[in-house]
């Protein structure tokens, strides 16, 4: 996949402050505050920064954690996993495979068939209904 690269200023000009804070500065939104946490709309979730498809709504489930959760990305190259040792924890960060936007983290406590829980910030996503 060809990478999309912009300067931080270009990202800041393009994104709203919350999107910029999470996607480019690796922030997080408060639990249960995101617009997609409880949605059940059928469609495809795209990266807010580059519009690359990331998740199909058919893989979304209610993990009760306060963020939209999915058990699988839409494609193997949709995201990159990075070891994250910030905040005194060892986690796996997930970023967009095309533009490197911070999306959230993946945990090994999800449902079958993968056993994974991709815990993603709503502000990073744009849901395109089917």
List of residues 6+ apart from 84 with CB closer than 8 A:
90, 91, 92, 93, 105
Is the distance from CB of 98 to CB of 47 less than 8 angstroms? yes
Known catalytic residue at 119: yes
Residue 120 DSSP SS3: strand
pLDDT at residue number 86: 84
Of the candidates 23, 49, 119, 124, the residue annotated as catalytic is 119
Domain-by-domain residue ranges, the chain?
A: 8-129
The bridge status of strand 125-129 relative to strand 60-61 is unpaired
Q: What's the average pLDDT block by block, 10 residues per block, for the chain (130 residues)?
A: 90 97 96 96 98 98 96 97 89 97 97 97 97
The pLDDT assigned to 35 comes to 96
- The pTM score is 0.94
Q: Detail the residues annotated as belonging to a binding site for Zn(2+).
A: 47, 50, 96, 99
What's the CATH code, domain 8-129?
2.170.150.20
Length of the chain: 130
Residues 11, 6: Cα–Cα separation, whole Å = 6
């Amino acid at each position: 996949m060809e990478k999309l690269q912009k300067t931080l200023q270009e990202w800041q000009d393009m994104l709203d402050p919350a999107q910029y804070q999470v996607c480019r500065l690796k922030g997080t939104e408060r639990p249960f505050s995101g617009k997609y946490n409880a949605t059940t709309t059928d469609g495809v979730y795209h990266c807010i920064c580059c519009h690359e498809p990331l998740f199909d709504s058919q893989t979304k489930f209610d993990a009760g954690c306060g963020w939209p959760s999915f058990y699988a990305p839409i494609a193997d190259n949709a995201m990159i996993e990075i070891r994250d040792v910030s905040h005194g924890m060892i986690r796996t960060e997930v970023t967009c495979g095309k533009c490197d936007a911070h999306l959230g983290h993946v945990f090994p406590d999800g449902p079958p068939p993968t056993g994974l829980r991709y815990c993603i910030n709503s502000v990073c996503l744009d849901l395109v209904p089917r």
